[in-house]
């Protein structure tokens, strides 16, 4: 959530930055500032009236002690009148605060200076490519055919049990999932990340704190009886570990990693984007999260990008890194790098990770702060990235490492999978 002070001091600049994100309601910036002006006036009147009550209450005690009962009673009458004014002032202030908050949460995070101007994924900037695209023979197959051929994943059975977008992993397919999760976690913890196993459902306060609500309400599964939300990513519960917390500067950065299943309704998805493992309603993912000193957060973002790159390189997959344009960025992000791996059998790039710096946007909602060297309390910066999301990694592993005899397993994964190939 943006800070009102930032909007007030840099109103036109804020609108310019929001335009980079293709935000269509710049008038909300003016509305927030105007509502805050109204709130401040009511607050000042309330505080002034309350001050009169407090001062008069002390004077009444003194007058009674001096035997000046008549003067004390007159002052009591004034206090009664001021107290009668306080209740409607407080109610008006609460209404203005709610209206202010409701408008403020509709504003997305401001894009950083490195964010390219653009509206669609076609405007994203490729900053790096790595790995080699394999040359497959004419008989090469997409992953959904390979999964059936080697009895790794049953899409039809998942459809029977639950519905489309809920595959069933079988035999070596299930083992491959388990091996990838363990490898990703070990890779992250070796780099200094502390492992968490959080709840897979969160309350409304947690979903709000990381920016999923109200922005992505329609994309999350909602258990209405208990008002819990199934998590779309481990970012939500793990970042909330430090909600309503004041940290010491020397504790930063905090590095966390977690494996969780993820649940996303993915409303409106269709066509080739949903074939096989390309887009699922339930999938597994390992996440990395950092809570950082604002002065070092972009240095840390670069470190996280390099970390994910090394992980993808170890899987021997062709990849590219994109800096997302304003129109393709998430609601909460200030700068995002996407990782895509090349699906040779499908002839297309598949997103497998997003690494983002949210600056103080999430922290303001989380009320996660730290005390700097001068003792001043400031917002931390939060960052997160997929390390990695499994479905499209599995799709690319199957497709890019297929041979006429089977599917080769990357050397880094062999100790976890227990074999060098799937036959």
Q: Any known ligand binding at 266?
A: yes
Residue of 17, 369, 392, 396 marked catalytic: 392
Number of H helices, E strands in the chain: 13, 18
**For residue 59, what are the contacts with CB-CB under 8 A and spacing of at least 6?**
75
**Look-up: residue for tokens 């309603």?**
281
Q: Any known ligand binding at 79?
A: no
Q: Is 243 a catalytic residue?
A: no
Q: Any known ligand binding at 264?
A: yes
Q: What is the DSSP letter of 253?
A: P
Q: Any known ligand binding at 178?
A: no
Tell me how far apart the alpha carbons of residues 242 and 240 are, in angstroms, rounded to a whole number. Answer: 5
Structure tokens, 97? 């605060």
Q: Any known ligand binding at 55?
A: no
**Look-up: residue for tokens 């940290």?**
247
Q: Is 351 a catalytic residue?
A: yes
Residue of 354, 356, 387, 396 marked catalytic: 354
Q: Is 275 a catalytic residue?
A: no
Q: What is the largest CA-CA distance in the chain?
A: 106
Q: Is 354 a catalytic residue?
A: yes
Phi and psi angles of residue 284, each rounded to the nearest 5 degrees, phi first: -105, 145
Q: Any known ligand binding at 351?
A: yes
Q: Any known ligand binding at 83?
A: no
Q: Any known ligand binding at 396?
A: no
Residue of 17, 39, 279, 323 marked catalytic: 279
Tell me how far apart the alpha carbons of residues 128 and 322 are, in angstroms, rounded to a whole number. Answer: 7
Tell me how far apart the alpha carbons of residues 7 and 387 are, in angstroms, rounded to a whole number. Answer: 34
**312: nearest Cα among 413, 403, 399, 233:** 413
**Look-up: residue for tokens 């202030």?**
93
Residue of 264, 323, 365, 369 marked catalytic: 264
Q: What is the DSSP letter of 245?
A: E
Is 58:80 a contact under the CB 8 Å cutoff?
Answer: no
Q: Any known ligand binding at 77?
A: no
Q: Any known ligand binding at 287?
A: yes
Helices (H), 191-328: 204-209, 235-239, 297-314
Q: Is 323 a catalytic residue?
A: no
Is 381:333 a contact under the CB 8 Å cutoff?
Answer: no
Residue set of the binding site: 233, 264-266, 287, 351-354, 384
Residue set of the binding site for ATP: 264-266, 351-354
Write out the catalytic residue numbers: 264, 279, 351, 354, 392
Residue set of the binding site for L-serine: 233, 264, 287, 384
């Amino acid at each position: 959530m943006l800070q009102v002070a930032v909007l007030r001091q840099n109103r036109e600049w804020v609108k310019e930055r929001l335009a980079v994100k293709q935000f269509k309601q710049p008038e909300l910036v003016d509305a927030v500032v105007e509502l805050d002006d109204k709130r401040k006036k009511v607050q000042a009147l309330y505080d002034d009236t309350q001050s009169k009550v407090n001062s008069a209450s002390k004077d009444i005690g003194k007058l009674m002690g001096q035997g000046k009962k008549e003067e004390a009673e007159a002052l009591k009458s004034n206090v009664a009148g001021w107290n009668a004014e306080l209740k409607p002032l407080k109610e008006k202030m609460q209404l203005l605060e709610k209206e202010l908050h409701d408008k403020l949460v509709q504003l997305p995070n401001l894009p950083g200076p490195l964010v390219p101007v653009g509206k669609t994924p076609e405007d994203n900037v490729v900053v790096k490519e790595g790995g080699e695209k394999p040359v497959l023979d004419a008989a090469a197959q997409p992953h959904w055919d390979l999964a059936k051929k080697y009895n790794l994943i049953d899409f039809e059975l998942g459809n029977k049990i639950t519905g489309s977008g809920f595959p069933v992993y079988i035999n070596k397919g299930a083992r491959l999932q388990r091996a990838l999760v363990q490898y990703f976690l070990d890779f992250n913890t070796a780099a200094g990340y502390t492992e968490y196993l959080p709840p897979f459902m969160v309350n409304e306060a947690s979903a709000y704190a990381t920016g999923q609500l109200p922005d992505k309400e329609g994309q999350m599964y909602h258990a209405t009886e208990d008002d819990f939300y199934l998590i779309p990513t481990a970012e939500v519960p793990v970042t909330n570990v430090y909600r309503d917390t004041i940290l010491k500067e020397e504790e930063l950065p905090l590095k966390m990693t977690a494996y969780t299943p993820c649940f996303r309704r993915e409303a409106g998805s269709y066509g080739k984007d949903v074939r096989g493992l390309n887009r699922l309603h339930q999938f597994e993912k390992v996440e990395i999260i950092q809570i950082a000193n604002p002065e070092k957060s972009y240095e840390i973002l670069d470190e996280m990008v390099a970390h994910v790159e090394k992980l993808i390189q170890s899987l021997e997959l062709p990849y590219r890194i994109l800096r997302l344009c304003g129109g393709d960025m998430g609601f909460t992000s200030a700068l995002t790098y996407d990782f895509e791996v090349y699906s040779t059998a499908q002839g297309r790039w598949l997103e497998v990770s997003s690494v983002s710096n949210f600056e103080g946007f999430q922290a303001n909602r989380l009320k996660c702060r730290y005390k700097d060297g001068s003792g001043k309390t400031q917002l931390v910066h939060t960052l997160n990235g997929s390390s990695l999301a499994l479905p499209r990694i599995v799709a690319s592993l199957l497709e890019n490492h297929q041979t006429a005899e089977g599917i080769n397993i990357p050397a880094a994964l062999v100790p976890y999978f227990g074999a060098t190939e799937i036959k």
